[in-house]
């Protein structure tokens, strides 16, 4: 692989580090400190999270309509994203936090969809699609970075300084991507005319979208509150920040590993295995509150959610190779819709049952439904396709 190809991929990795690992998920390890210093309730924290996910929904939906000047549009949204990170550390207004988390969500949605579309199209053009999994390692790398840095920066500069420090780091990552991409021309996408052949809601795709949306609802409860839950178990408090580092470390190599598995098994089988491991990880802290159980939960969370993201987006693009932007947007929008509802429901269950076990149990059940949807949808669509082929042959 040439230096330019590596630079394009690495630039994309850094953008996902900023938008996903830092902008979206640094909130998880910072949240316990914000809750203590600012006397935030679990419910108030849930609304902050949901504001971000509503924004992500809007951004993911909007990104599907961007066909021209993708690169320039993408870089502008990264600048706004970095601004939202820095600004979190210079205000104590809850209302402004809500707005900033919304801006962070909108821009992250655009960044994820556009970066994924641009890089996957670029790699396909150069017959390098097998490397696409490395792009999504940026999510895990960002989580690991935020998990490692947050406790150290917070110890010296409080939670405000943590947001600012991560904002400065994100600025450096953006500048690095600008340098790596300075001579790279990204071809504009083509708006595909709607016909029966180009409709994406057919065959297995609707089932994949529904399962992915349920996955978004289930996994985000752990993704938002994992560190806070561990922090509030007195005997495990010292493991809280470390658990997020474990999640990030597990997520970093996850995408390439999961993508390599589809060369030996079907994508749906690999996805099913990822869902099963994630269900185990979500439910572990419900049945066991020990150091090994919460750390294993964090490891399984990081390893599986990035795998499910990379496998689902790659499979959708495989089904509709000429509509990468549209299919990634549809998938990510469904995912984001689930993420909007997840934290609100989690807050409600925690308030109702006065226990973190209730929202985790709910999350586990939802991901079980996601797995069932995936498997049923595959069998149903395959049988429908086989029936259609048989009907054509008999005519």
Where are the chain's structural domains?
Answer: 3-188+198-394
- Under a CB-based contact definition with an 8 Å cutoff, are residues 27 and 52 in contact? yes
Q: What is the pLDDT of residue 89?
A: 94
For 193, counting Cβ atoms within 10 Å of its Cβ (0-12 exposed, 13-18 middle, 19+ buried), the class is exposed
What is the number of other CB atoms lying within 10 angstroms of the CB of residue 95? 8
Q: What is the pLDDT of residue 190?
A: 54
Q: What is the pLDDT of residue 361?
A: 92
User: Sorting pLDDT into bands at 50, 70 and 90, what band is 124?
Assistant: confident
Backbone angles phi, psi at 104, to 5 degrees: -60, -40
Q: What is the pLDDT of residue 393?
A: 67
How far apart, in whole angstroms, are the C-alpha atoms of residue 70 and residue 204? 28
Average pLDDT value over all residues in the chain:
87
pTM of the model: 0.83
User: Sorting pLDDT into bands at 50, 70 and 90, what band is 47?
Assistant: confident
> pLDDT digit string (tens) for 344-360?
788 788 888 888 888 89
Contacts made by residues 333-336, CB under 8 angstroms, sequence distance 24+: 333/57, 333/60, 333/61, 333/64, 334/209, 334/210, 334/212, 334/213, 334/216, 335/60, 335/212, 335/213, 335/215, 335/216, 335/309, 336/53, 336/56, 336/57, 336/59, 336/60, 336/61, 336/109, 336/216
What is the DSSP annotation of 87-142? HHTT---HHHHHHHHHHHHHHHHHHHHHHHHHHHHHHHHTT-GGGGGGTTHHHHHH
Mean pLDDT, to the nearest integer, of 159-182? 95
- Under a CB-based contact definition with an 8 Å cutoff, are residues 92 and 38 in contact? yes
User: Sorting pLDDT into bands at 50, 70 and 90, what band is 107?
Assistant: very high
> pLDDT digit string (tens) for 279-303?
999 999 888 888 898 899 999 999 9
Domain 3-188+198-394 falls under CATH 3.40.1280.10: no
How far apart, in whole angstroms, are the C-alpha atoms of residue 392 and residue 311? 32
- In three-state secondary structure terms, 203 is coil
User: Sorting pLDDT into bands at 50, 70 and 90, what band is 53?
Assistant: confident
Mean pLDDT, to the nearest integer, of 103-107? 96
């Amino acid at each position: 692989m040439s230096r330019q190809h590596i630079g394009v991929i690495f630039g994309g990795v850094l953008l996902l580090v900023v938008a996903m690992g830092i902008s979206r998920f640094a909130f998880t390890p910072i949240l316990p400190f914000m809750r203590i210093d600012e006397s935030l309730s679990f419910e108030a924290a849930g609304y902050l999270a949901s504001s971000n996910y509503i924004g992500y929904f809007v951004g993911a939906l909007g990104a599907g309509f961007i066909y021209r000047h993708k690169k320039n549009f993408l870089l502008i949204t990264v600048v706004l994203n970095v601004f939202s990170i820095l600004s979190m550390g210079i205000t104590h207004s809850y209302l402004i936090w809500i707005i900033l988390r919304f801006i962070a969500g909108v821009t992250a949605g655009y960044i994820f969809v556009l970066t994924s579309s641009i890089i996957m199209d670029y790699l396909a053009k150069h017959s390098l699609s097998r490397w696409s999994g490395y792009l999504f390692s940026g999510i895990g790398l960002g989580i690991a970075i935020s998990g490692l840095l947050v406790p150290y920066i917070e110890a010296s500069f409080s939670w405000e300084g943590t947001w600012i420090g991560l904002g400065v780091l994100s600025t450096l990552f953006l500048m690095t991507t600008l340098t790596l991409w300075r001579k790279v021309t990204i071809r504009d996408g083509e708006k595909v005319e709607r016909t029966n052949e180009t409709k994406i809601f057919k065959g297995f795709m609707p089932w994949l979208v529904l399962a992915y949306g349920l996955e978004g609802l289930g996994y985000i409860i752990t993704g938002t509150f994992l560190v806070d839950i561990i922090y509030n178990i007195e005997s495990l408090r010292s493991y809280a920040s470390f658990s997020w580092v474990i999640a990030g470390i597990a997520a970093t190599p996850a995408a390439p590993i999961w993508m390599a598995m589809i060369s030996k098994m079907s994508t749906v089988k690999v996805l099913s295995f990822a869902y099963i491991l994630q269900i185990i990880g979500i439910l572990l802290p419900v049945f066991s509150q020990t150091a090994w159980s919460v750390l294993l939960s964090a490891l399984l969370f990081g390893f599986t959610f990035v795998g499910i993201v990379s496998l689902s987006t790659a499979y959708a693009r495989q089904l509709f190779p000429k509509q990468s932007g549209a299919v990634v947007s549809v998938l990510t929008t469904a995912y984001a819709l689930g993420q909007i509802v997840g934290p609100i429901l989690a807050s409600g269950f925690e308030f109702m049952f006065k226990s973190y076990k209730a929202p985790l149990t709910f999350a586990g059940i939802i991901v079980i439904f996601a797995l069932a949807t995936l498997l049923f949808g595959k069998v149903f669509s395959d049988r429908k396709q086989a029936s259609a082929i048989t009907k054509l042959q008999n005519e």
